[in-house]
Structure 1
């Protein structure tokens, strides 16, 4: 802007715009007045720049623009929009703006801008050309939206996911170390079968946690992911265990009890039940229910079909007294949960119930 060029006020600029649009059409004046009032009253920060004057100065800004930036109207009018930039402004985004202006294109970018007091804000800038009735470019329109809160939330989410990935890596290492200790101890004590059983349970816990860590950062997890991961090794072909459930979520602290209980049920089915022959199947279903007191609970049902013929109905108390089921029951009790077993005509039926706080 040369020394002999004086900045005009936003109101003067609006009158100029109105005059240019008036012509012989009486409605044009009213239209210009309505446009001025609308731009002045809108809560979105708005400015207009004149591409026909050197350095494309701002010729209009509304009060929302002044509140957002901290500058007065006289500080803004006559300046190029770059005066809001600072050392932290991404020059790649600035280059996109320059290219859009040169090509008269509409563009939306996010860039760091600076207020008059030096504080920063993330600006979602919408920039586009305005044409006259003759089709010629008259102004560039810019609207600014403070998206600092959204941007900071994204940054926090990225940080949380990075932490979760690190926890996942370390947790896998912990399970591997525990498994190694169990194996070495089992060999030294000539207790390999015991070590193998312990290691299988440790691995089941690891599988139940692995696919849910990303979700855990949200405070709840998709229980279906944990269920499928725990049971995958028992159905390598994918045609023996059927799953029925939706996107039910529950607290991460329920995963240990659920994972180990399903591992024991699958191990029992592989040795004695529906997974011990070539034709049996297991259906696992889950969902939220209300208990008799009206409290929300996660309920998982395990139903076997087509297993070996049962000559006599087993004693449930005897079947459930094995070490694996005892461990599962202890974990479930810590989560205030229950495990019910029932022998039906088609095979074992089990129900896991855990009260929950969040759905």
Structure 2
């Protein structure tokens, strides 16, 4: 039983240039019940092909299991989900999709609808972002290693000083005992 889609959702979808989908979590297999033109352009699928189907039709051989598990777990916990997932256009072309899904709840906290927002992450930006991230990580690890080496050297020096102090105290104590 599909609920009537509120006019505000229709207006939001028709006025948006962002690819958007709407599914009904109360129906078996949570099918799409609405999508906007931006979604059809991005995916290559028509309304006839997409509506009534679960969005998994965009998954393929390289779709990450971890991304699917994140979505499934967030849905089960009634949480919003944000995930980067490998999807496929109707043409078979793979693309990385930053998928954001949030639920519209009724007064009993039961999800009535799930609105999905898709953003294609171009490979050029992804590569730059990953390179920046890797460089930052490498610099951070180098700083940790450098500070670890510095700390190790300080411990050796401190140990030597403490050792020298302990040795001095013990020698003084032995001297005192020897003369008593």
Q: TM above 0.5, one fold?
A: yes
Q: Find the aligned partners of 1:86 and 1:137 in 2 and give their Cα distance.
A: 27
Q: How does 1:98-113 map to 2 (within 5 A)?
A: 98-113=72-87
1:242-287 Cα deviation digits (max 9, x unpaired): xxxxxxxxxxxxxxxxxxxxxxxxxxxxxxxxxxxxxxxxxxxxxx
Q: Which has the bigger relative contact order, CA under 8 A and spacing at least 6?
A: 2
The DSSP-based 3-state class of the residue aligned with 2:4 is helix
Please state how far the C-alpha of 1:135 moved relative to its aligned partner: 4.0
User: Given that residues 49 and 57 in structure 1 are in contact (C-alpha distance below 8 angstroms), is that contact kept between their aligned partners in structure 2?
Assistant: yes
Partner residue, 2:161: none
Partner residue, 2:12: 38
Q: How does 1:155-166 map to 2 (within 5 A)?
A: 155=130, 157=131
Task: Provide structure 2 residue ranges, at least 5 long, that are not aligned to the other structure.
Answer: 140-180
Alignment of 1:123 onto 2:111:
no
Flag the structure with larger Rg. Answer: 1
Partner residue, 2:47: 73
Judging changes above 3 Å, is the alpha-carbon distance between structure 1 residues 125 and 61 closer, same or farther for their aligned structure 2 residues?
Answer: same
Please, what TM-score do these two structures have when normalized by structure 2?
Answer: 0.67
C-alpha RMSD of the superposition: 2.6
Partner residue, 1:147: 121
Judging changes above 3 Å, is the alpha-carbon distance between structure 1 residues 54 and 104 closer, same or farther for their aligned structure 2 residues?
Answer: same
Alignment of 1:132 onto 2:130:
no
User: Given that residues 122 and 151 in structure 1 are in contact (C-alpha distance below 8 angstroms), is that contact kept between their aligned partners in structure 2?
Assistant: no
Q: Find the aligned partners of 1:152 and 1:140 in 2 and give their Cα distance.
A: 31
Please state how far the C-alpha of 1:39 moved relative to its aligned partner: 1.0
Q: How does 1:345-356 map to 2 (within 5 A)?
A: none
Q: How does 1:242-261 map to 2 (within 5 A)?
A: none
Which of residues 28, 31, 39 in structure 2 aligns to 1:57?
31
Task: Provide structure 1 residue ranges, at least 5 long, that are not aligned to the other structure.
Answer: 6-12, 19-31, 166-210, 212-359
1:207-247 Cα deviation digits (max 9, x unpaired): xxxx9xxxxxxxxxxxxxxxxxxxxxxxxxxxxxxxxxxxx
Q: How does 1:312-327 map to 2 (within 5 A)?
A: none
Task: Tell me the number of residue pairs that the alignment of Structure 1 and Structure 2 aligns.
Answer: 136
The DSSP-based 3-state class of the residue aligned with 2:12 is helix
Please, what TM-score do these two structures have when normalized by structure 1?
Answer: 0.35
Please state how far the C-alpha of 1:128 moved relative to its aligned partner: 1.6
Q: Find the aligned partners of 1:38 and 1:60 in 2 and give their Cα distance.
A: 11
Task: Report the structure, 1 or 2, having the larger helix content.
Answer: 2
